[in-house]
Amino acid sequence: MNHFEYRRNLLHAEDIPVSRIAKEVGTPVYVYAEATLRRHYEVFSKAFASHYTAGRASICYAMKANSNQAVIATFARLGAGADVVSEGELRRALAAGIPGERIVFSGVGKTRREMAAALDAGIAQFNIESLPELEQLNEVALAMGRRARISLRVNPDVDARTHAKIATGKKENKFGIAWSHSLDAYRRAAAMEGVEPVSVDLHIGSQLTDLEPFRLAFTKIGGLIETLRDEGIDIRHVDLGGGLGIPYAGEEPPHPDDYARMIQQTLGHLGCDITLEPGRLLVGNAGILLTTVIYVKEGEDKDFVIVDAAMNDLIRPTLYEAHHEIVPLWRAEDTAPRRPVDIVGPVCETGDYLAVNRPMPKLSAGDILAVCSAGAYGAVLSSTYNSRPLVPEVMVRGGHYAVIRPRQSIEDLIAMDVLPPWLKSG
């Protein structure tokens, strides 16, 4: 259940008609249902508490999916940690109440400054993605008189069977240390004084709707852990990343219970504690994007529904050819005629669309649409292209809502630029 439903034919977010939010806050606007965030976290957490019995399971929310402070704080109060990929995300996690010991730092390009900030924060571990990064962290830690807990992210060369732009576990991807180099990399790490290898890490991709790629990857990682233990590198923890998909257009991803059982089956014999890094799974279906129809333009071959949200507000359709269900705020009769249209934005790019050839009931200027499953990689990937201000975000709880990111004004947007001295006097 995602807590967005029609009541008396009017779309609601929890107990609030979203038309009220559209009227009072304006569109475009992102709307999140707090009850969905909580429910998804609790279902995921309960699955591992029930079915993974070999060790402790820690959930570190992958903040890149949605880094609004209210979203992070919601998970923090439920006991979540955070998976961060930049100093900015690290500081956001700390500001939202997640302690350093529940934070893991991933990403291929950590700088010395970021490493030092994470060491100062006392994070749980660094997920190291290359030998140069390993050597640099060792130097930074020694200079600070610290010893950094690390996991090496190993690339198992497993096809995640997902979109090419969100696949991360094949040998041609930029992520992780090549499978053939992993054993030597651990040997080097074990010989360093500034780092302590405590875990093995992997993440094969995002929006997976089949457990088999996970099973293949986890089985390979289990074999690596056994080899490392045979060499005296006593690995007692494994970071399994995230990637479990959500339904966008009728997909039926595995339930977290089945995912947890599979991990118990493939890795339980090792007795490892595990870290899981769900992102999209927790927030994707907890959000919608509201947008208003500006014009309906009749074309020679098709009609175009021009709305006030654009690719700079939600880039997934054009970046990933992603499908988002789009529904009007007033439920159309099942028997109402539908006609394929392109739902497009005002940005001056052919790729500025939210849907192509989408069957929709008759729409008119002023109608409001809800773009569903927009809680992940929506607002967080937005931009100000075409000098379009960032849109607001709203969180709903029961019969109340709060603006959790105000709409950026055009004046604020322009004020971000600074004229050089030789242009100020002219």
Rg (CA), the chain: 23
Q: Which helix (H) or strand (E) holds 136?
A: helix 131-143
Residues 6+ apart with CB under 8 A from 192: 134, 138
Lookup: tokens for 322: 């992603």
Q: Is residue 372 annotated as part of the catalytic site, yes or no?
A: no
> CA nearest 136: which of 195, 183, 186?
195
Residue with tokens 């998976």: 83
Peptide bond before residue 197 is cis, with ω within 30 degrees of 0:
no
Task: Specify whether the CB–CB gap between 199 and 238 falls below 8 A.
Answer: yes
207 torsion bin: left (phi>0), alpha (psi -120 to 50), beta (else): left
Which candidate, 32, 124, 123, places its Cα nearest to that of 72?
Answer: 32
8 Å CB contact between 322 and 316: yes
Please calculate the CA angle 239-85-313 and round it to the nearest 5 degrees: 120
Phi, psi values for residue 405, rounded to 5°: -150, 115
Q: Spell out the long-range contacts of 12-17 with Cβ–Cβ below 8 A and sequence spacing 24 or more.
A: 13/288, 13/396, 13/401, 14/396, 14/397, 14/398, 14/399, 15/398, 15/399, 16/396, 16/399, 16/400, 16/401, 17/329
Whether the Cβ atoms of residue 189 and residue 228 lie closer than 8 Å to each other: no
Q: Is 218 in contact with 263 (CB distance < 8 Å)?
A: yes
CB 371 within 8 A of CB 55: no
| Type of residue at 48 | F
Q: What share of the chain is helix, strand, coil (3-state, %, to 5)?
A: 35, 25, 40
| Rounded CA separation 262/258 (Å) | 6
Give start and end residues of each alpha helix (H) in 144-255: 182-190, 212-230
- Provide the annotated active-site residues: 348
